Chain A
Amino acid sequence: MTTAALEVQGLNKNFGALVVANAIDFRLEPGARHALIGPNGAGKTTFVNLLTGRLQPTSGRILLGGDDITALSQEQRVKRGLGRTFQINQLFKGLSVLENVTLAVGERAGVAGDMFRVAGTHRGVVEEAYGLLERLGIADDALKLVREVPYGRQRLVEIALALALNPKVLLLDEPAAGVPQGESKVILDVVAALSPDIAMLIIEHDMDIVFRIAKRITVLVQGAVLIEGTPQEIAADRQVREVYLGERDHG
């Protein structure tokens, strides 16, 4: 078996009496297009937070490219190539779109701790950030404050911030959440166009989107993996229909 881009062994987490991660075993293969689905409150976001180190697991191990990262801080994991987006925007709202992405590029490039030269000396960093905005089609908004651009475009800034890190593993937490139907296509096109070198895990409620993007699907229910398989297997599974798909029909 090849080394997984990301691997999780026996991951547990509870908030008091509430079990949000229950003995999760999980593999994200190199170059994966993997979806994580499950009803509201299943623990999907918590799972991402555990992977990135925003939360500490009660027990279990997390391996990135074969290395145990369970004890590492969030920033150490990022430096090793783990990037994420947030279900609810986490942006620098009072800064321009370009400056948002510049901060991330500068951090990855290792110049952000520089205290004695003006930021302008690192022109390449700003240019790279701008190039990323062009790639995502939001260069027109480069100088607008994030809080002034429409929500759909803010979601693209979310993705830009993650891509600025050149991640090897990218965790997308409902990238199109809250975006009107018409605009979500732009976001999904960006996701579909990601480099095949990136192993991607996407959390998404819209099953059309999931089936379009994912080659593998994991279903999470009450913090535990219910089943994992190809989209065909998941679509055909009776249990999944009851627990998840069925609920969505009258929900």
Chain B
Amino acid sequence: MAPHARDAARTSPVDSLVTRHRLRPLELLPWVLVIPPYWLFDTYLPLGSEILIMVLFALSLDLILGYAGIVTLGHAAFFGLGAYTAGILAANGWGEPISGLAAAAAVAGATGYVTGRIILRAHGLTLLMMTLVIVLALNEAANRMGWLTGGADGLSGIEMWPLLGLFRFDLYGRTGYVYAAAVLFVAWIFVRRIVHSPFGRSLTGIRENVTRMHAIGVPVRTRQVTIYAIAAVLAGIAGGLLAQTTQSVALTVMTFERSGAILIMLVLGGVGRLYGAFVGVPAYMIAQDNLARLDPVYWYFWVGLMLVVVVLFARGGILGIVDRARDLVVRRRP
């Protein structure tokens, strides 16, 4: 909010609203930061790919949680569906990556649309429980259908074809990293466009006050189902990417824990601001990686503590802290 308020002094109110979608230089920062690891930390590229994939997953969650205000504990259902779709295709002789992602997106999106139509009639706790039930049920289904999914042993035998027919998925994860970064980049452009579209603005309205949205003639449910399905598509792509770059799929792709973890990462970064995913996911995953090494037994405790601190003292997550720090500096300066 703050930057718009400051610009306002210079431009007319109409202009400031009409130009709000313009790209600010800072928005390109993640894309600058994504490049050096390719050369500098090449032993960490698999972790890097996973971070990029989880950023995409968190970004998809931000659309429904941060913008539309739908709280879900089942978002990993779509991540998992995407992972299994891409994984199963590749394990059964179709290892072409891009079409595999498209299939992952389609399956996750269709499931998101259908389940969204059903569960988004509910609100609050009921809705939360329903999202939870969906991820638990799908996890159990994947567990039971061992012939297709590999069950508890995980899916094996995934063989990816070279990306675009040119780049092999190498042992160091170079191709995987660039692939994940490219997909995330395209997804970011898409999500950013949605967020700044009239449709995206209306989602914010739904989050702010559903009662009023009904009273100004908004087909609230249709909008919610639409964004829920779009978020499912993106989550499915993220899951598909994970399956393709790690060439494995385990039941853990589709658990309540993963749904919870991504929620935590997003809250840590900041909800409803597009870039919370880009900040929260690396912060969480790098912290987790280090804490797990420093304190193999209690690392989860430290992760929990970090979250408690953020929630108690920094509403709006890390980006919220940055905002407030900047406001302080700006206000001090006369």
Q: Residues of A at under 8 Å CB distance from B?
A: 52, 54, 74-75, 78-79, 83-84, 86, 90-96, 98-99, 102-104, 106-108, 111-120, 122-123, 125-127, 130, 139, 142-143, 145, 161-162, 164-165
Return the chain A residue nearest B11 by Cβ. A143
Q: Residues of B at under 8 Å CB distance from A?
A: 1, 4-5, 8, 13-14, 16-21, 193-194, 196-202, 204-205, 208-209, 211-220, 223, 226
A88 CB to closest chain B CB, in angstroms?
10
A84 contact set on B, CB distance < 8 A: 215
B201 and A99 form a contact (CB under 8 A): yes
B205 and A115 form a contact (CB under 8 A): no
Instruction: Specify the main secondary structure of chain B where it touches its partner.
Output: helix
Q: Identify B217's interface contact among A96, A102, A108, CB under 8 A.
A: A108
A112 and B218 form a contact (CB under 8 A): yes
6 interchain pairs, CB-CB under 8 A: A90-B209, A115-B226, A119-B196, A127-B14, A143-B4, A143-B5
**Complex Cα spacing A52 to B215, Å:** 8
B199 and A161 form a contact (CB under 8 A): no
Q: Identify A104's interface contact among B8, B194, B197, B216, CB under 8 A.
A: B216
A75 and B218 form a contact (CB under 8 A): yes
A142 and B13 form a contact (CB under 8 A): yes
B212 contact set on A, CB distance < 8 A: 86, 90-92, 161
B202 and A145 form a contact (CB under 8 A): no
Q: Identify B14's interface contact among A113, A115, A123, CB under 8 A.
A: A123
A106 and B198 form a contact (CB under 8 A): yes
B222 CB to closest chain A CB, in angstroms?
8
A98-B197 in contact given A75-B218, A92-B212 (Cβ < 8 Å):
no
B218 contact set on A, CB distance < 8 A: 75, 107, 112
Q: Identify B209's interface contact among A79, A91, A98, A119, CB under 8 A.
A: A91
**Complex Cα spacing A142 to B5, Å:** 11
Q: Identify A164's interface contact among B5, B19, B194, B216, CB under 8 A.
A: B216
Return the chain B residue nearest A80 by Cβ. B217
A118 and B214 form a contact (CB under 8 A): no
Among B213, B214, B217, the one with the most A-chain Cβ atoms within 10 Å of its Cβ is B217
B5 CB to closest chain A CB, in angstroms?
7
A90 contact set on B, CB distance < 8 A: 209, 211-212, 215
Return the chain B residue nearest A120 by Cβ. B18
B4 and A118 form a contact (CB under 8 A): no
B166 CB to closest chain A CB, in angstroms?
31
B21 and A119 form a contact (CB under 8 A): yes
A118 and B196 form a contact (CB under 8 A): yes
B199 contact set on A, CB distance < 8 A: 112-115
B8 contact set on A, CB distance < 8 A: 143
